[in-house]
Structure formats: structure tokens, C-alpha cells
Amino acid sequence: MTLKLPVYMDHAATTPCDPRVVEAMLPYFTEKYGNSGSRNHRFGWEAEAGVDEAREHAAKLIGASEKEIIFTSGSTESNNIAIKGAAYMYEKAPAGSRGRGHIVTCEIEHKAVLDPVKRLVKEGFEATFLEPPRDGIVTAEMVKNALRPDTILVTIMWANNEIGTINEVREIGKLCKERGIIFHTDATQWAGKMPVNVDADNIDLLSWSGHKIYGPKGVGALYVRRHRPRVRLQALQDGGGQERGFRSGTLNIPGIVGFGKACQIALAEMESDAIRLGRLRKKLETEISSQLDTCAVNGHAEKRLPHIANISFGFVEGEGLMMAVKNIACSSGSACTSASLEPSYVLKGIGVGDDLAHSSLRLSLGKWTTEEQVDYAIKEIVQAVKKLRMMSPLYDMHKEGIDLSKVEWAHH
């Protein structure tokens, strides 16, 4: 069989929609097109039934009850509702005054967590942005040391989207529970890939998204705990009071049905997918590191998601590398691939030097990634790095024994 190019290895960015998901969605566009809010005719009832079933699947995936699931447009919205909604609800002092309450998060969270927290800081809340160690893992100990008497919310992602490392979520949750602090986790990269039980894992609020788990884009969910404790949130959007008032707006019914189907499939297949992808990722990492000198796997070697590899290559630049591996669709931590011209803040956050942060690739595998594709990627990446090193003055200097950190560079 010939390999179809380019090969998609950017599943942490988004995944293809599962055909079974698409099939489940289709009737809700053209036949069962009612508004689930219409209580007095068949069209409304059909739509409502679709949403109810999806809610069951979503709840089951994370060990919650259906009443605890709020459908949203995706993780960004879920994070915003959770973080701002909880902050406004549990604040210590009147709106606008200083010292409204303290929030703990981490520097290497996704922007969809960092930016809501930063907005709250502008509005008078205080926040601690934990600095993770080199392995990228946020521990309960780190969170514990950051807690204050006025801490009202802890928000720590379950697994990091760039480096795939897994934080001590269950332990952080336990700590928060003991102190009576609301705990939110952005589980966008985790839920649907790895098991979740919101009770055992001590979670109060959890965000996840459809398009990372072979569902459609533009739909996601927020879990809001209803018992021990009953978490309250101030809604950010006013309107018809849908989703128990947490998220007004007509429901995206085909999207929600697809999201539910994706959750159902994920629950059934996550274990076998994780085992297979873990093996393929390991192969990718070990083969590349054995064929090239001066490359490093970023993030903890074991405590990481099975499907996300993040590798830095010394003496080559990320965007140049991306061009050289143009038949592999992946991401880079390079400045040149971002609008800001700054290298990845996640890699910088875990202490990867700017030089190596510039030359990293994130390769994320998915349900339909084949061994053949992985072998192809290994070959292409090794070849590309070798070619670019032939062109790299830094690699020459390195081989001549020149310490690059001692060279006086003409800074721009």
C-alpha cells in the first residue's frame, strides 16, 4: 500500500471526525431539526432526546451524572465559564475592590486558562502562576505551597497540550477538597483518551472538547459538580437560561449529538488506543534519538500522554525543520511558526533554552495513525535534521568543540 501524503501527526491540535460520529449527527440537520427548547411538539422532543442521550454518554465518560454536564462551544468556553464563573461566585470582596480572592494556576497552562485568569487579575483578583520543574509536572506539593487563606480556586490542566505531561490531578483535587477550595481542570487533552472519574479524582469543574476526541469542532462540555460540594457559578452569558442557566443559547444539537457519540466511542476504545499509540510514540522517540545526536525528548519520560511526543533537535531551527518535513503535518515550538515570534512559552516555562525551544517538533498520534506512517516520519525527520545540520554553522562549531554559550553573538 502506498502511503498517502501528507501524514497527519497533529492530533493534539485537532482530530478527524469519526465517520460513526458524522453518521449519528446527520439526521439532526435535516430531519430531527427541532429546538430542544420546544416543549410542545415532536420536533422539540426528538431534539431533546438526542441531547439527553449525548448528555448520558458525556457523563458516563467521566463518571458524572447527566445533570452535571453543561454543553458549550468547546474547551475555551468551558474554561471561561468555570474560571470566571467560579471566581465571581466565590469572591471574597465586592466587585472592583482589591483582594477579591486568590487563584492558583500554572505558567504552562493553555492560553484559554491563562488569559481568563489574567483578566481576573486585572479585575482585582490575585493569582499565583506556578513554575513547573524541568519535567513539566505540576505536583500537589507545588500547589500546596502556593495556597493561601484567601485562595478560592485552583485551575491546573490534566495533561499538557504541548509536551503531553500529566499533572498530579487526583492529589491536587484531594488537597483542594480538604481545604474547601474549588478545583477546575482543563482536561482537553486527557478526557476521552484516558480514564476519568470525577469523584475518585476529586474534581469540581472539568472542561473538555469534542474535536480532540474524533468529534465535531465547536462543541464541548463543562462538568459542574452538584454534590459535596455543590459548585455554583456566575453565568457569563445572559439569555434563555439553557443548560441550567450556566450557558444560555439554543443548543447546538447536531454538534452535541456528535460530541455524545464521540464520548461513547472514546469510552469503549480508549484503552486499546492508548496501548497502541503509546507503543508507536515510544518507537518514534527511541528511533529518532538513536539515529541523531543532540536531541531531547521534552517533558517527563514516563508520566506523559501516550500519543504526544515533543522532541528538540539541537542546531536546527524549527520552522526550517517544518519546511523540511513538509509531508508530515505537525507543530513546532519555533518562534517563526507563531504570530508572536516568541518561542513556545511552554518549553521556556520548563526551562528548555531558547535555542532548543526554537527547534522542537510536537508529533501527536491518533486513532488512525499507522506503524507505516510512524516509520515514514522517523525516516523523514532524521533525514531533514541531517540535511539542516549540514547547513548549520552551529553544528559545525559544536563539532569543532566550540562552546556555543561562550560565543559572543551579535544580538538583534
Partner 1 sequence: MAYGPKIIDHYENPRNVGNFGSQEQMKTDKKIGVGLVGAPECGDVMQLCIKVNEQTGTIEDAKFKTFGCGSAIASSSLATEWLKGRTIEQAEEIRNTQIVEELSLPPVKIHCSVLAEDAIKAAIIDYKKKNGMPVADHDHDHAGSH
Distances (CA, A) of 168 to 67, 110, 176, 225, 280: 27, 17, 12, 20, 25
Q: Catalytic one among 106, 263, 295, 336?
A: 336
Residues binding partner 1: number (CB under 8 A): 33
Q: Indicate the residue among 296 and 336 with the shorter CB distance to partner 1.
A: 336
CA proximity to 109, closest of 80, 81, 138? 138
Question: Residue 217 and residue 395: Cα distance in Å, rounded?
Answer: 42
For the window 353-372, what string marks contact with partner 1 as x by the rule CB under 8 A? xxx--x--------------
Please select the residue that binds partner 1; options are 230, 302, 390, 406, rule is CB under 8 A: 390
Minimum Å gap between C-beta 68 and partner 1 is 43
274 binds partner 1 (CB under 8 A): no
Closest CA to 203 of 375, 392, 15, 61: 61
CA dihedral for 277, 282, 288, 291, sign (positive or negative): negative
Q: Is the dihedral of CA 232, 238, 243, 247 positive or negative?
A: negative
Q: According to the binding rule CB under 8 A, does residue 404 interact with partner 1?
A: yes
Residue 330 annotated to the active site: no
Q: Any contact of residue 397 with partner 1 (CB under 8 A)?
A: yes
- The grid cell for 370 is 499507522
The nearer residue to partner 1, 199 or 396, going by C-beta atoms, is: 396
Selected binder of partner 1 within 336, 375, 376, 386 (CB under 8 A): 336
Residue 5 binds to partner 1 (criterion: CB under 8 A): no
Q: Specify the residue, 42 or 399, whose C-beta has the smaller distance to partner 1.
A: 399
Min dist CB 334 to partner 1, Å, is: 7
Please say which residue, 302 or 400, places its beta carbon nearer to partner 1: 400
Under the binding rule (CB under 8 A), the answer on residue 337 touching partner 1 is yes
Distance CA 49, CA 43 (A): 10
Which DSSP string do the residues of 272-312 spell out, in sequence order?
HHHHHHHHHHHHHHHHHHHHSSSEEE-S-SSSB-TTEEEEE
Residue 343 C-beta: closest distance to partner 1, Å: 7
Task: For the beta carbon of residue 346, count every other beta carbon within 10 angstroms.
Answer: 26
Q: Which residues are catalytic?
A: 336
Per CB under 8 A, residues contacting partner 1 are: 315-320, 323, 334-337, 341, 343, 353-355, 358, 388, 390-397, 400, 402, 404, 409-412
